[in-house]
Amino acid sequence: MSRSNWQQDRVAIKELQLILDSCKLGLTPVDEVWPNLYIGNVAVAQNRKTLHKLGITHVLNAAHSKQGSIGDQGFYGNACIYLGIPAEDSESFDLSQYFKAAVDFIHKALKSKDGKVLVHCIMGVSRSATLVLAYLMMRHRLSLRDSLRHVTQNRAIYPNQHFLSLLLKLDEQLTLRRRLCPLL
């Protein structure tokens, strides 16, 4: 990456962080951020009674196999369909390698009869939020900024800087692709 691109990314990330900082909501265990799409923490994901009360049919664990976030299909039985993504909340983990799988899982779940999806990690602010933002961008044609504004109206989130840069890259790719082929 050239120095000017790096500087542009830093400025763009600062702008995105201002959007995130403008959220006045407190952090809650779970919030609906799009119709039938929820972001929550690990405690909600491991509480079968709460999942049942919310009507959750699908669980996407963005912290699969991390200590304190052990989940698998066996835990949910027939109550929910499970997808685990072994993501690290770090400045070096390439979460974008899982964007397509996560987006496809969420999309298919929401299209199913009475489908409701919980996307969670440990706190429900970085990994899970990043995957939901990618979903809104890829399936609903929202820009990254519009996706952030929409989600922060419903939940306090704060993807790490590295994840924001991955989402910026995705936003640029989607914008270019749509410019070349408006039907995408």
- For 22, counting Cβ atoms within 10 Å of its Cβ (0-12 exposed, 13-18 middle, 19+ buried), the class is exposed
Query: What whole-number distance in Å separates Cα of residue 146 and Cα of residue 17?
Result: 13
Q: Residue type for 130, please? A: T
Q: How far is CA 69 from CA 3, 14, 19, 76, 159, in A?
A: 39, 31, 29, 13, 18
Annotated active-site residue 181? The verdict is no
Among 120, 127, 110, residue whose Cα is nearest residue 57: 110
* Alpha-carbon dihedral sign for residues 130, 109, 87, 167: negative
Q: How many residues does the chain have?
A: 184
Residue 89 near residue 121, CB atoms below 8 Å: yes
Task: Given the residues 23, 80, 121, 181, select the one marked as catalytic.
Answer: 121
Which residues are identified as catalytic? 121
